[in-house]
Amino acid sequence: MRPAPTPFPLLTAADDAPVDQGRRAALVRQLRARGIADERVLTAVGAVPRHLFFDPGLASQAYQDKAFPIGAGQTISQPYTVAYQSALLGVKPHERVLEVGTGSGYQACVLVALGADVHSVELEPSLSARARRLLARLGARAALYVGDGAAGLPEAAPFAGILVTAGARTVPPALLRQLGVGGRLVVPVGPSDGEQRMHRIVRESATEFRQEIFEAFRFVPLRGSSAGAQPNSERIGGTNRM
């Protein structure tokens, strides 16, 4: 297999001072202590300069394990959530991955650092444009789109992995259809005014899916015309895991 590409070839010393590297190393230790055991994910989180995704006045807070608002009613997810979802996705180098909800671009950068072929869809044009500029500054190779992420990206399907960064009331059926056999969908599912449980759904055949349910989180609601659609022909079996 080809080696994974260098994730951020344009990152310079001016972008990433020693104090930021130290804060990031401390964050990685904190995530490991909280139970994130996937060393590839921890390495990826440790490679991404999260402070660059913040306004300069807030950059000193970037390595706190907290979510922060980024405008348009959206947030940059807390690092634990990003690491948790990335570990569940289990992405391998060069796999084609769809991210639903580009937001700041931080999660996309973590997926790039894992070696994925990243496609990311964002409903808000202003957020997508900002993320595009930042990823270009870093040299992070990802294809960004503006559109209804709950409808997926059929022109680039099938995907080995799909990761949803907003809370869905139900599992969007379009995303199930765009998984390749063996592909994984990681999506938080639950009411928009409360907690959502993290779901991982694996496509086992053309019509059969295996579902696992994990911890509870709180996400901003998934928006778009397809966000509340109900699956019809797909058969989903499942288990609960904590």
Taking phi first (over 0 means left), then psi (-120 to 50 degrees means alpha), and beta for anything else, what does residue 182 get? left
The DSSP 8-state label assigned to residue 151 in this structure reads G
Q: Which helix (H) or strand (E) holds 204?
A: none
Contact indicator for 199, 171 with CB cutoff of 8 Å:
yes
> Residue 198 half-sphere exposure, CB side, CA atoms within 13 Å?
21
Omega into 5 within 30° of 0, i.e. cis? no
Measuring CA to CA, how many Å separate 9 from each of 4, 48, 138?
A: 13, 12, 7
**Of 148, 83, 146, nearest to 109 (Cα)?**
83
Contact indicator for 178, 226 with CB cutoff of 8 Å:
no
Catalytic residue among 77, 104, 120, 128: 77
Omega into 158 within 30° of 0, i.e. cis? yes
What is the maximal distance between C-alpha atoms in the chain? Answer: 53
Alpha-carbon gap, residue 68 to 50, rounded angstroms: 12
Alpha-carbon gap, residue 178 to 211, rounded angstroms: 16
Examine the residue annotation and report whether 77 is marked as an active-site residue of this protein.
yes
SS3 for 147?
coil
Q: What residues act catalytically?
A: 77
